[in-house]
Amino acid sequence: MRIKIKEKDLKITIYVTSIFLFVEIFGGYFFGSVSLISDAIHMVRDVFSLYISWFAINLAKKLPTNKMTFGYHRAEVFAAFINGLILIGA
């Protein structure tokens, strides 16, 4: 079963996660909390992965061409692979 993710929902998720990222950086710096700063660094990876997914969804919307006869739907698979590598590396 394939789950359809709406681009609007993904944008909202990126915005909310980015806001929490900056709040954690500010709070960690203001209160001297290393744990908040380390969690903010973790959230940088999350925001980066969300941006990769958003980029792949937008790329997959492109119509097929003579060179790319299947269209750009493989971008979503490649983005999932990159996100998996990011999770393994962290």
pLDDT tens string 33-55: 999 999 999 899 999 999 999 99
53 is a domain residue:
yes
For the chain, give the percent of residues with pLDDT over 70: 93
pLDDT mean over 16-22: 95
How many CB atoms sit inside 10 A of residue 22's CB?
11
1 is a domain residue:
no
13 is a domain residue:
yes
Token reading at 65: 């061409």
2 is a domain residue:
no
- Count the domains in the chain: 1
Q: Give the residue from 42, 48, 37, 41 showing the smallest Cα distance to 14.
A: 48
78 is a domain residue:
yes
**DSSP summary character for residue 64:** P
How far, in Å, CA of 69 to CA of 84, rounded?
A: 27
What is the domain range of residue 15? 7-89
pLDDT at 1: 53
Look up the pTM and report it. Answer: 0.80
For 69, phi then psi, to 5°, come to -70, -25
At 53-73, the pLDDT tens digits run 999 988 888 888 787 777 788
